[in-house]
A and B are shown apart, each in its own frame.
Chain A
Amino acid sequence: MSPGLPPTPGQTVGPFFGYALPYDRDSELVPPGHPRAVRLYGRVTDGAGQPVPDALLELWQLDEAGSVVQQEGSLRRDGWTFTGWGRASTDDTGSYTFTTLKPGAEPSKAAFFAITVFARGLPDRLFTRAYLPQDAALLDADPLLSSLPEPERATLMSQSDEGGFRFDIVLQGEGETVFLRYRGH
């Protein structure tokens, strides 16, 4: 095995990805009419509390049974194949919406949505997790959540409502979302 290679650095997505990265039904992991469709939505705001209208979010999740999906077809949705991955742009109010299925979890693990955030003014992507409201014992046993003091832990909790799950992302300041550095970064 070769010794580790130094990584290529990241760079900002910039302002002009809007004609390149979004695509038809990018944020619809399932069609909105799917009987078990849920909505994952929220707002992205900056350090002044202003909406971030030029962010791009990506969602990656387990399927309802808690399994990893390895199906192609995310870029050309056929309406039937759940790929577990999608992409959503924020609008002028900083809002985003994914239509998806409720992710399952492995036994004794807490369920969450894995999210990547890109934006103009962000020199590198940010990773975070949106946990589903669920059994407190599962959340308390989660290694990440249990490592965080309560105000920070709360930033990783999505809020359940009739349409699905709300998860706001605060890039900076009061209520700043906890962003992640994985081992190896």
Chain B
Amino acid sequence: MTSPSAEATTAETFDHALPTDSDSAATSQAVITAEIQEIEAGYRASGVVELQPRLDYPPYRSTILRHPTKDLRHADPETIELWAPCFGHRDVHAIEADLTIQRGGEPIGERMVVTGRVLDGEGRPVRGQLVEIWQANAGGRYLHKRDQHPSPIDPNFTGVGRCLTRPDGSYRFTTIKPGPYPWKNHRNAWRPAHIHFSLFGTEFTQRMITQMYFPGDPLFLLDPILQTVVDAHARDRLVARYDHDVSQHEWNTGYRWDIVLTGRRRTPMDEEDAA
């Protein structure tokens, strides 16, 4: 068996380093942190509020060659963009919301429930819509062939879940708390523990993929991916809160995280007209 470091250095696509800059994986956390802080200071001084991540965020090295350099163009949504794809019980089985029972045995780690509501910008619930999640296992390892992190795969955990939101917009997953894991943006880079969420609204324009984090993680300020969101209040919206009412006696801990999609333009009256 090859040594962990040898595996890691040969993992081509796990290497987040900029391909044209072979030194970037040698950059220290101190350098990355200084870049992060400089950008945040500039943001604060600007007085402009930014609610979404920056596409051009050099501390996250992979953005350097992948961010569009031109401003996004304003477009008024056409009909197709005012509607979202429709998913239903043909697409998603109820069992897919429990990531702890997919493999016939108990996965290792802290069993937890993550629940919350998916809302539009007016606070209206997004009903019957698809939510997809994926995550690392308790040891910080993804069940992905390109993940070379030398931490064990859990044969009882895939880390993939789906559900449909209920009439009140709520979703609920039973899973295992993911571990933090190393990546190759810079030397000794660690991602804070997170769960990836994929969300649809009632309109195409609300489509979003994001990540949910856990409260109080010491890695937050060191992580150039979370910090692509330069506004501290906006970053807070990516952090779940511990909710003891979601925890269950001798069974699981509980976290609550509500997700707000960008506003919607189609009104309920339009929906009735179309129905």
Which A residues are within 8 Å of any B CB, using their own CB? 1-2, 4-21, 46-48, 50, 52-54, 58, 60-62, 68-76, 83-85, 103, 106, 109, 112, 114, 116, 118-127, 129, 143-144, 147-148, 152, 171-173, 176-185
Contacts and interface: CB of A to CB of B under 8 A. Distances in A.
Given A19-B160, A116-B207, A183-B265, A9 B75 contact: no
Contact of A19 (B144, B258, B262, B263): B144
14 contacts: A5-B121, A7-B260, A8-B237, A9-B237, A15-B146, A19-B144, A20-B134, A48-B20, A60-B80, A114-B204, A121-B16, A124-B52, A182-B81, A184-B263
B208 A121 contact: no
A18 B144 contact: yes
Contact of B234 (A6, A121, A129, A152): A6
Contact of B238 (A8, A62, A71, A183): A8
B115 interface: no
B269 to A, nearest CB: 13
Contacts of A58: 207
A134 B208 CA distance: 31
B86 A121 contact: no
B245 interface: no
A174 to B, nearest CB: 10
Contact of A124 (B53, B81, B89): B53
B73 interface: yes
B91 A5 contact: no
B131 interface: no
B184 to A, nearest CB: 10
Closest 5 CB pairs of A and B: A121-B62, A72-B88, A20-B134, A85-B85, A123-B53
A11 B209 contact: yes
B210 interface: yes
Contact of A6 (B73, B88, B204, B260): B260
Contacts of A53: 13
Chain B interface category by residue count: 35 or more
A14 B224 CA distance: 12
Contacts of B229: 9, 11, 123
A172 B198 CA distance: 25
Interface string B90-129: 1110000000000000000000000000010111000000
Nearest to B147: A16
Contact of A11 (B72, B122, B144, B238): B238
A179 B72 contact: yes
Given A4-B121, A19-B134, A75-B87, A179 B210 contact: no
A26 to B, nearest CB: 12
Contacts, number: 264
A17 B263 contact: no
Contacts of A148: 73
B205 A127 contact: yes
A73 B86 CA distance: 8
Given A7-B261, A12-B228, A184-B262, A114 B123 contact: no
B121 to A, nearest CB: 5
A166 B90 CA distance: 32
Contact of B68 (A10, A61, A84, A126): A126
A138 to B, nearest CB: 12
Nearest to B184: A15
A171 to B, nearest CB: 5
Contacts of B258: 8
B259 A8 contact: yes
Contacts of A76: 90-91
Contact of B121 (A7, A119, A125): A7
Interface string B158-186: 11101000000000000000000000000
A23 B29 CA distance: 37
Contact of A121 (B66, B160, B162): B66
Nearest to B208: A10
A8 B261 contact: yes
Interface string B224-254: 0110110001110110000000000000000
A122 B228 CA distance: 10
B160 A171 contact: no
B66 A52 contact: yes
Contacts of B53: 9-12, 123-124
